[in-house]
Amino acid sequence: MASGLTKSQFTAALSEAWGLSKKEASEGYDKFVDLVYKEVRGKGELTLPGLGKLVKQNRAARMGRNPATGEQISIPAKTVVKFRLSKAAKEAIL
């Protein structure tokens, strides 16, 4: 499977598309990522119009099974972040 764009490739594409220097595009990208982290951490979700929604969810504790021994184990509750793709993005990609 092919890997995605690296950060430097992504910011180079942004700088070319927006007519900015690579440094300015990288700083803009870093600020965007910080904003996304802050919003999801604080509010529990962030909608990116035309792309999807990042949602923070609580996962309940459950019983699991060790695949090597078959022994039942307790898996503790935890908080996870999920990304829900928008309908428009699904249609554009698929």
Q: Show the DSSP H helices in 19-70 as ranges.
A: 22-43
Q: What is the pLDDT of residues 69-87, one digit of tens each?
A: 999 999 999 999 999 999 9
For the chain, domain boundaries: 1-43, 47-94
Average pLDDT, the chain: 93
Q: What is the pLDDT of residues 48-68, one digit of tens each?
A: 999 999 999 999 999 999 999
52: left (phi over 0), alpha (psi -120 to 50) or beta: left
Domain 47-94 has CATH 3.40.50.300: no
Q: Is residue 1's pLDDT more than 80? A: no
pTM for the model stands at 0.77
Return phi, psi of residue 77, to 5°.
-65, 150
**Do the beta carbons of residue 28 and residue 12 sit within 8 Å?**
no
